[in-house]
Chains A and B, each alone.
Chain A
Amino acid sequence: MSTEHKTPKDFRRKVERADRWSRRVITTGGYGIIISIVSILLFLIYQSLPLAKGASINEILSMPATRSENPVVLTGVDPYLEVFYELDNRGSIKFYNVDSKALIKEDQLPLKANEKILTAAKGNLTKEIFTVGSDSGRLITSSIEMKPEYTKSGRTIEAMVYQEEEWQAATENDTIPNHIEKLTFVENSDGTRVWSWIDHTGKLWLRIYDAEDEEEYLYDLSEDISGQITSFSLSHNAENLVVALKDKNVYWFDISDFEKIQLKDRWTLETIADAVNYLLGDQAVAIGGQDGSVSVWFPVRSPANLFKFRKVHEFISHNAAIDQIYVSSRNRNFLTVDTKGNVKLHYSTTGQTQLEFKPADFPVTAAAFSPKSNAILVVDGQKRFSLYNLENPHPETTLKTLFGKVWYEGYPKEEFVWQSTGGSDEFESKLSLIPLIFGTFKGTLFAMFFSVPLAIFAAIYVSQFAPKRLARQIKPTIEIMAALPSVVIGFLAGLYFSPLFEEYLMVIFLFVILLPLFFLIALFIWQRIPEKMQARFPLGIEILFVIPIGIITLVFAMSFDHVVEQILFQGNFQQWLYSTLQITYETRNSLVVGFALGFAVIPIIFTVSEDAISNVPESLSSASLALGASKWQTVRRVVLPAASGGIFAAIMLGLGRAVGETMIVLMATGNTPIIDLNPFNGFRAMSACIAVEIPEAPVGGTLYRVLFFTGLLLFVFTFIVNTLSSLIGDRLRKKYARF
C-alpha cells in the first residue's frame, strides 16, 4: 500500500494500546455500576441478616471433676471469660484459668468446723456478690472481684474474695440449729441488701438492710402464707418478692416500703412452681413448673387500676420438673434447668425458646451467665464444668416482634410499639416496624389524595386543552417545582404552613367545600352564555375563568370563617374536636404533611402523565374527532384510556417518591410513632425514623440492624414500584409505537 510509510508502527501501537486500555477502563466502569447497584442491596441485606440469626452455643471448655468431693453450690466467670470459680458446700472457693484449666487461687469462706452450706444465691446481676446459708443458721455474704490487671505480658485476671458480712439467724435451741434451707438475696444499686430464706421449719423470713438509713428489718412472712413454699424470688431493685407454694398459689409482696411489707396480689398456677426468678427489668417473673412448663408473668394494669400478674408468654416445656432458673444481666434471656439436666434458653419478650442442650447425663447443680451474657457456665452433678460461648446477637427481634403485636412489660395488652431507647440499661427496646410502616403510608396516602387529582387534571389540561404557547411555558415551570429541595418544602411546611393551617383551619375547610360549589354555579352561568359568544373568547379562557372563582371563594371563606366556627364549633374548632371527638389537634399534623408531600410529588406525576397523554398518537384522536366526537369526548374515551397505563405509572412513581421522602416528613410531623388515622395527628415515617435514630444507634446493635432492615424495606419497596411503573411505561410505548 502506498501509505505505508505514513502510519508508522509505533503510532499504530499507541493507538492500539489506547484502545485496549480504554476498553479495560470502560468495562471496569461498567462493571462498577453493576457492582455498586448490587452492593447496595447486598450490603443492606448483609447488615440486616444477623437479625434473623438464632442463638447458638459452642463448648469452649469442658473440665472433669476436681479433687474435692463436695458438691458445687455456686459458680461464675469473669467478663473476659478467662477465669471461673466454684464454691463448694464446705466454703472453699477455687479459681481456675479457662485456657490452662489450672487452679490459680483458692480461698475459704469463714465456716465453722462441720458447718455446711445448704444454699447459695447471687445478689446482683452485674456484680459477683452472694450469700450462702448454712446448716447452723448463718447467712454469710461475700463478694468476688475478678479484676483485669494489665502488665507487659498482657492481661491477667486478679481474683479476690471479700467478706462482706455474717449474720446468725435466731435459733430456738442449740441442739437443732436453724437451718437455712433455701435462700434468695439481692443487693440493689443503693447498696440496700435483702435476704429471704426458708428455715428448716418451713418458715419464710425476710431480712432487710437499708443502706440509706443504716437500719435493719426482719420479718416473718409465714403469717401471711399458709402452706409449703417451693420457690421464691426477689426483684433486683429490692422492691418485690414473689413466693410460690406447693398448693400452686403464688404470692406477690411489695417490700419497697421496708417498714410495711404488703401483700399485693395472689394468684393460682396450673402447676406447682419449683423455680421462680425475676428477669432483668424487675417486672417479669419466669416460672418453671413441676410439670416442666415454662412461663413468664408480669403485672398488668387491670380495669380497676390495680396491677395483677398475668401469664404473658409460654415457652416450650421440659420433660422433667424445672428446678433452677438463671437470668441474664444484659437482656430478657433466661435459662431453665430441669432435674434431668436439660437446659433451655428462652427469651421473654418474644416468647421464644431459643436453644436446648444437655451438658451431661447428670443433673445440673449450678449454672451462670457470664457478666456480658456471651457465655454460659454449667456445673453438673459429677462436678464437670462446661463453658459455652453463647452467640445470641439479637434475641429481641423476630419476625413477630418486627411485624406482629407484642405484649411488652407494663403494657395492658399486645401492641405494635416503636420505642427504641429508654432511660435505663434495663429498658427493653420495642422495635415494631408496623407504626413506622403505618406512618409512611398514612403520609403517602394524604399526599396522594391531594396530589393525584391536581397533577392529573393539570396534565390533561396542559396536554389537551391549553393553547400550545401556554403549555410550552408551563412545563418547565412545573419541572422547576420538582427541583425545589425537599428541605425547603419541609421547612415551609413545619414553620410556615402548620401555624397557618392551625390559624386558618376553618378558612381552608370552607375553601375546600365552597370551591366546587362556586365552581358549579359559575359553570352554570357560563353555559348560559350563547355558543357564539363563547366562541369569541380566546383559547385558554378556562384559566382566566377559574382564577376569579378561586379568589372569590378565598375572600368568601376568609370573611365567614369566624361566623361558621361560632355557629358549628362553639367558636374554636380545635377545642370542639377535642371535647366532642377526643381528637387532639397537633400543629404539625398529617394534613400539613399531606399538603407538603403532595406538593413535592405533583411535578413527578404531572410530568410523567403529561408525557403519557401527549404521546398518544395524533392519529388516534384525529380519528375520534373525525367521527364527530367533541374534544372532551375524545380525551375521555380515546386519549385517557390509551394513556391510562402511563398515568398509572406516573402515580406509582409519585407513590415511590412519597414513601421515601425524608426531610418533609421529618420536619412537618411530630414524629410520633402512633397508629392513628386521625388527620390532625402526626406520625413517624420509616425514612424519618432512620434519619433521626441511626446516628445514635450503636454500630452492629439491634437498633442499628433494624434500621438497616427498614432501609432495605424502603429500597425493595421503591425498587418494585419503580420497576412496575417503568415496565408499564415500556409496554405502553411499544403498544403505540406502531401508530
Chain B
Amino acid sequence: MIETESGVFLEKTKKDEILTPETKIDKSVKPVLAMSNEKIVIETKTLDFYYNADAHALKNINIHIPDKKVTAFIGPSGCGKSTLLRCFNRMNDLISDAFHTGEILINGVDIYKEGTRLEDLRKQVGMVFQKSNPFPMSIWENVAFGPKVNGINDKDELNEIVESALKQGDLWREVKDRMQNSALDLSGGQQQRLCIARALANKPEIILMDEPASALDPISTGKIEETIEELKKNYTIVIVTHNMQQAARISDYTAFMMLGELIEVDLTKKIFTNPTQKLTEDYITGRFG
C-alpha cells in the first residue's frame, strides 16, 4: 500500500540527503527511449520517485510517450508501473511524505514547474482507475462533474458534452434513457466505461488507465478494449496492465518495468517477439511473474 505513516520528523535528514543538487544533475542516462519521428507528449528525465526516504519506488526513469498512441506499462506487481502512471497527473502528490527528483515534461512543459496548476494538469491528463469509482450521483451528474468543476455551467453545453463523452465511451446507447438514474445502478463494466466517459468529458489530451479492466469479467473487458481501440484515434493513452495479452492486443508501444526501473520500451510487436533485454524475454515468456 502507498499509505505510509512514518514519523513526521523522522527521516528528514535522509530526504535532504537524497535531494542534494548532485543527485539531480548527474545520472548516466540509460537511454531506454522510444521511437523516432513521432510527436512526443510525455517525457521523463532521470525521474526518481520516493514514497518516503526509505521507499525508493522509481529509479532513473527516462521515457518518451508518443502522441495518439496506446502505450502499455507491464511488469510484475510492485514494479512501479502504477506509480509512474500516477506521476503523470501528479496523483502522487496526495501522499504526504512522497517526493521525487528529475523531471516530467508534458508537451515539453515541466509539470512540477512552479505555478503549475494541478487542476489544469489533471484536466489535461485524465485518469481511469483500476476499480470503477462512479460518484453516488446520477449518470448525467457523473459525466458532467469534470466540466462543472472546470467552470462550465451552461446546461445545453453540458448536455452536449455529456452526450459526446458517453458516445465516445460507448455507453450512450445503454444509458441515454436513464441519465438521471444513480450511477451505482450500472453494472461493473458499465460503471468503468462511465468512468472513462467521465474522464473524456473533460476533453483531455492524455488518458491514463490504471488496470482499467482488472476487476471486470471477460465480456466487459472486451468492451473496454474496444473503447480504447476507438479512443486512440483522438487521445494519447497510457495504460497499466498486468495482463500481457491485453497489452499485446491493444497497445502500440509497451514499456517493461521491474523493481522501479524501466527495463525496455519498444514497439509492442518487438517487445513480445524480440525483446532486447534478457529480463524482458524472461517475463514475457512467463519465467517469472
Contact = CB atoms under 8 A, between A and B. Distances in A.
Interface of A: 1-3, 6-8, 11-12, 15-16
B151 A15 contact: yes
A1 B124 contact: yes
A8 B151 contact: yes
B119 interface: yes
A6 B205 contact: no
A571 to B, nearest CB: 71
B243 interface: no
Given A1-B205, A7-B151, A15 B119 contact: yes
B203 A3 contact: yes
A587 B157 CA distance: 78
A6 B124 contact: no
B151 A2 contact: no
A94 to B, nearest CB: 68
A163 B128 CA distance: 103
Contact of A11 (B124, B151, B203): B151
Contacts of A2: 203
Contacts of A3: 123, 150, 202-203
B152 interface: yes
Contacts of B157: 6
Across the A-B interface, the 8 shortest Cβ-Cβ residue pairs: A11-B151, A7-B151, A3-B203, A7-B150, A6-B152, A2-B203, A1-B124, A8-B151
A3 B123 CA distance: 10
A243 B205 CA distance: 107
Contacts of A16: 117
Nearest to B154: A6
A9 to B, nearest CB: 10
Contacts of A6: 147, 150-152, 157
Interface of B: 117, 119, 123-124, 147, 149-152, 157, 202-203, 205
A114 to B, nearest CB: 85
23 contacts: A1-B124, A1-B203, A1-B205, A3-B123, A3-B150, A3-B202, A3-B203, A6-B147, A6-B150, A6-B151, A7-B123, A7-B150, A7-B151, A7-B152, A8-B151, A11-B151, A12-B117, A12-B119, A12-B151, A15-B119, A15-B149, A15-B151, A16-B117
Most buried by A among B149, B152, B202: B152
A12 B117 CA distance: 10
A1 B151 CA distance: 15
Most buried by B among A2, A6, A11, A12: A6
Given A6-B157, A7-B151, A11-B151, 8 more contacts: A1-B124, A3-B150, A6-B147, A6-B150, A7-B150, A12-B117, A12-B119, A15-B151
Contacts of B152: 6-7
A465 B199 CA distance: 52
Contacts of A12: 117, 119, 151
Nearest to B150: A7
B152 to A, nearest CB: 6
Most buried by B among A1, A8, A16: A1
Contacts of B149: 15
A352 B57 CA distance: 68
Contacts of A7: 123, 150-152
Nearest to B107: A1
B203 to A, nearest CB: 5
Nearest to B152: A6
Nearest to A3: B203
Contacts of A8: 151
Contacts of A15: 119, 149, 151
Contacts of A11: 151
A15 to B, nearest CB: 7
A15 B150 CA distance: 9
Nearest to A9: B151
A6 B203 CA distance: 11
B186 to A, nearest CB: 27
A203 B218 CA distance: 122
A601 B151 CA distance: 54
Contacts of B150: 3, 6-7
A16 B205 CA distance: 23
A1 B124 CA distance: 8
B114 to A, nearest CB: 15
Contacts of B119: 12, 15
A11 B150 CA distance: 8
Contacts of B123: 3, 7
B37 to A, nearest CB: 24
Nearest to A6: B152
Contacts of A1: 124, 203, 205
A559 B8 CA distance: 70
Contacts of B151: 6-8, 11-12, 15
Nearest to B153: A11
A15 B119 CA distance: 10
Contacts of B147: 6
B272 to A, nearest CB: 34
A11 B147 CA distance: 12
A8 B203 CA distance: 16
Nearest to B205: A1
A542 B22 CA distance: 77
A169 B124 CA distance: 113
A1 B123 CA distance: 10
A6 B148 CA distance: 11
Most buried by A among B124, B147, B151, B152: B151
A234 B265 CA distance: 108
B164 to A, nearest CB: 13
Contacts of B203: 1-3
Contacts of B124: 1
A311 B181 CA distance: 90
B263 to A, nearest CB: 33
A8 B153 CA distance: 12
A16 B152 CA distance: 15
A381 B147 CA distance: 94
